[in-house]
A and B are shown apart, each in its own frame.
Chain A
Amino acid sequence: MIRLTVDKLTTGMVLAQDVTRDDGVILMGKGAAVSEDAIRLLERLDIESVVVEGDLFASEEERQAYLKEAEEQLDLRFSRVEDDKVLMAIREMFRARIKKGCLPPPPPKPEPEETDGFVVRFDGE
Chain B
Amino acid sequence: MADLKEELSETMYCILLSLQEERHGYGIIQHVTDFTAGYVQLGAGTVYTSLKKLERAGWIDRTRTEDRRHYYVLTERGTQALDDQTRRIARLHAYGKGIA
**B partners with A:** no
